[in-house]
């Protein structure tokens, strides 16, 4: 009997919490748009997401990503080979190696780069990613993929976030 009473009280409390949350999220849309800092921030966010998505396939974006991985490492992709440390080479060398890596997937580096990039790649990166860039049978990321995994994941994240923002603004009548 006590148990039943307890459950009943719990249900009442939970309903109270749910109800207050629900009320909060269904604010008057008109009042919401009038002086809404959150809406402006979200509109800016949406614009930034769109701008990044528009650039995501460009050689400049991809080069920036590769240089960033060479400089700072990578630890989110989950490969058998473990994580990649940053700083195997200087930032200047990273830029030319990045061009070489970009061209492994059939794209064209937008600026000329020294031919010794290939030698740098083979001696510093090839041990893990393979001299052909294919990642030694799946133990390391395949650098010859049409879209690098990190970029593919970023694109998915950006699209998901954009959908979320759109859904929210539709719900609030903006």
List residues binding ligand HEC (CB under 6 A).
66, 69-70, 74-79, 81-84, 88-89, 97, 101, 124-125, 127-129, 140-141, 143, 148-150
From the CB of 145, what's the least distance to ligand HEC, in Å? 6
CB of 140 to ligand HEC, least distance (A): 5
Give me the least distance between CB of 50 and ligand HEC, in Å please: 22
Structure tokens belonging to residue 170:
């539709």
Give the rounded distance of the alpha carbon of 98 from its chain centre: 19
Cα 23 to Cα 9, 34, 113, 164, 174, distances in angstroms = 21, 19, 60, 20, 18
Smaller CB separation from ligand HEC, 44 or 60: 60
Q: How many residues does the chain have?
A: 174
User: CA-CA distance, 166 to 109, in Å (whole number)?
Assistant: 35
> 29 or 81, CB closer to ligand HEC?
81
CA nearest 57: which of 111, 104, 107? Answer: 107
Closer CB to ligand HEC, 49 or 125, in the complex = 125
Q: What is the largest CA-CA distance in the chain?
A: 82
Please say which residue, 140 or 172, places its beta carbon nearer to ligand HEC.
140
In the complex with ligand HEC, the residue whose CB is nearer, 33 or 122, is 122
Q: How far is the CB of 107 from ligand HEC (least distance, A)?
A: 13
Q: Identify whether the C-beta of residue 7 lies closer than 8 Å to the C-beta of residue 1.
A: no
Beta strands in 14-160 (DSSP E): 74-79, 82-84
CB of 45 to ligand HEC, least distance (A): 24
- ∠ CA 153-118-100, nearest 5°, is 35
């Amino acid at each position: 009997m006590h148990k039943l009473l307890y459950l009943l009280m719990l249900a009442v409390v939970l309903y109270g919490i749910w109800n207050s949350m629900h009320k909060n999220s269904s604010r008057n849309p008109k009042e919401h748009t009038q002086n809404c800092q959150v809406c402006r921030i979200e509109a800016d966010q949406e614009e930034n997401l769109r701008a990044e998505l528009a650039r995501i396939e460009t050689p400049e974006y991809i080069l920036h990503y590769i240089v960033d991985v060479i400089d700072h490492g990578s630890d989110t992709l989950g490969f058998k080979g473990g994580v990649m440390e940053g700083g195997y080479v200087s930032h200047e060398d990273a830029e030319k190696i990045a061009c070489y890596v970009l061209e492994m997937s059939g794209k064209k580096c937008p600026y000329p780069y020294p031919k010794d990039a290939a030698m740098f790649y083979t001696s510093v990166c090839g041990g893990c990613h393979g001299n052909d860039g294919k990642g030694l049978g799946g133990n390391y990321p395949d650098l010859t993929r049409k879209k690098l995994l990190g970029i593919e994941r970023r694109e998915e994240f950006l699209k998901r976030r954009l959908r979320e923002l759109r859904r929210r603004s539709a719900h609030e009548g903006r």
